[in-house]
Structure 1
Amino acid sequence: MILFIQSFLTGDFVSLRFKLAIVGIMWLIVAIAIIIDLFSGVRKAKERGEVRTSVGFRQTVTKVVQYYAFLAFAFLFDCMLMLILSAFGLEEARVLPFSSIAACCFLVFIEWKSFMEKANDKYKKQFNRSVSDLATLLENREDLLHGLVEIIKKQTEKQKENNDEEDR
């Protein structure tokens, strides 16, 4: 029997347990990959002296929801695939949940790439952003200086007004 549902209905619990175990193991592997990436990200943030806020942790929760939705759709695809094969009379074929296995491999690959990102690459991006910001400031230095002069004038006028009020 190749269907999850058919295995359940016919009482073939050995086949059902085997297929569900494969899917469960795939889901567990993805959870482990997410946890490894999370700890790696926290460690990298500590090394860079960055503050760890709830924003980063919320991103992890969002990622978990998206990943497990993807895995759920892969599981549904496996069920549909097994139903289609059954319709073609391939009931005796030993079909594994290939979509779930492929989805797991894809997600673990993504997490591995994230884990392998070097903190130096992030430093380079931050440095490039800083250089770009500096170039923008230098291009707009006249406007910046004019704005600073205006702010200083206003502060000076306020101080004079405050001093005049105190003298009265």
Structure 2
Amino acid sequence: MEVIKMIWEMRGMLIISIFELVLVLFAMSWDFASGYYKAKLRGEDRNSYGMRRTVSKFILYAGSVCIAWSIDAVCYVCKFWEFIHFSFLTNIPVITSLITVFILITEIRSIWEKADAKQLRQAAKSAALIGSVLNKDMLKDAFTEALITAKEKEKEKEK
């Protein structure tokens, strides 16, 4: 009977943890949508690679939140917070909240950095392409000039 009572009392922690998981899913969705939109604006290919990464992130993040909630549940059942004289934390999913904050900060940074990183990669590709074109044109011009000079010398020798 004590176990059922303890599980019933944990429902508040579970509700908070589910809300935090929904926040994480929202942040992941926002990150995916912004990446997809930015790729569309730049005319980049939108293939299954980004979707696979999102699924992998979902598994990692949702698993992390579930494991964190399990740790909070163990802390509740074992009365860990009371043991270390922080009994006011007993009904709060502390570990889950910390993990959620970390994930949300990571997702926010990902949204902001994604644009900058992709633009830098595009600029580097463009610079490399321009550099290779310039080098090819310069080599072509130098080679053409060398051939013209050689032909002119041959014509002078024949006269």
TM-score by length of 2: 0.68
What is the correspondence of 1:135-154 to structure 2 with a 5 Å cutoff? Answer: none
| CA distance in 2 between partners of 1:138 and 1:7 (Å) | 79
CA RMSD, 1 decimal: 3.2
Paired residues of 1:8 and 1:16 also in contact (CA < 8 A): no
| CA distance in 1 between partners of 2:84 and 2:57 (Å) | 39
- CA drift of 1:69 comes to 1.4
**Which residue is equivalent to 1:161?**
none
What is the correspondence of 1:15-164 to structure 2 with a 5 Å cutoff? Answer: 15-82=9-76, 83-85=78-80, 88=83, 93-95=88-90, 96-117=92-113, 119-132=115-128
| CA distance in 1 between partners of 2:56 and 2:2 (Å) | 34
Larger deviation, residues 123-132 vs 38-47: 123-132
| CA distance in 1 between partners of 2:105 and 2:2 (Å) | 32
- CA drift of 1:88 comes to 3.4
Unaligned runs of 5+ in 1: 1-5, 146-168
TM-score by length of 1: 0.65
Segments of 4+ moved more than 6 angstroms: 89-92, 133-139
- CA drift of 1:98 comes to 0.4
Unaligned runs of 5+ in 2: 141-159
Query: Are 1:9 and 2:1 matched, yes or no?
Result: no
Look up the equivalent residue of 1:88 and give its one-letter code: F
| CA distance in 2 between partners of 1:72 and 1:17 (Å) | 15
Look up the equivalent residue of 1:21 and give its one-letter code: I
